[in-house]
Structures are given as structure tokens and as C-alpha cells.
Amino acid sequence: MVPLSWYLGLSALLFTIGAVGVFIKRNAITIFLCIELMLNAVNLTLVSLSGFFGDVGGQLFVFIVMTVAAAEAAVGLAIIISIFRNRESLNVDEVDTLKL
């Protein structure tokens, strides 16, 4: 039996990788993947804690997060494609027309 702390450590690691990726990457798709990574790190936390406490609520919540993530992926990818069509680039630093 793997102790709980390993699960939590792994998810913290994955979350940090995701967060750092969002910080340092410029490619929109990469950032998007990093966000997914963070979401799934949280999912892992929820599932492991659910098992630890014997409460099925955590697992149910994961399903909801996955659903939202799927929807978000659809919308996000559509936006990314639209940006690419307009700008021929996926560099987020260049997408700055909303600033003054």
C-alpha cells in the first residue's frame, strides 16, 4: 500500500510543473497543456484523499472537473485556432491588443 503522502507529493510536483510551465512558456498550446496538467494534479489529490477518507464525494467531484476540463478544452482549442488563423503565430506575448 502506497502511503497517502506519496500521492500528495506527486500531485504537488505535477501542479508545480504545470504552474511553472504556464509561467515560462510562450506557446499557447503548451500553456494549455500545462493548465490541463494542473487540473489533473488536483484531480489526483481529490481521488487519493477520497480513498484515504473512504468518501466517494471526492471521486464524484473529479468527474465534474473532467467534464469542465473537456468543455474548456473545446473552447480553448477553438480560441487558439482562431488566434492562429488571424496572426499566424501562437506566441501569447504577441496577443496584446486589449492593453491600452
Give me the residues that bind another protein (CB under 8 A), please.
19, 22-24, 26, 31, 92-93, 95-100
Task: For the CB of residue 23, give the shortest distance to another protein in the complex, in Å.
Answer: 6
Q: Between 60 and 77, whose beta carbon lies closer to another protein?
A: 77
CA angle (78, 18, 80) in 5-degree steps: 15
| Residue 58 to residue 82: CA distance in whole angstroms | 36
Q: Between 5 and 54, whose beta carbon lies closer to another protein?
A: 5
Contact 29, 90 (CB under 8 A): yes
Task: For the CB of residue 10, give the shortest distance to another protein in the complex, in Å.
Answer: 19
Q: First CA to last CA across the chain, in angstroms? A: 56
Task: For the CB of residue 44, give the shortest distance to another protein in the complex, in Å.
Answer: 18
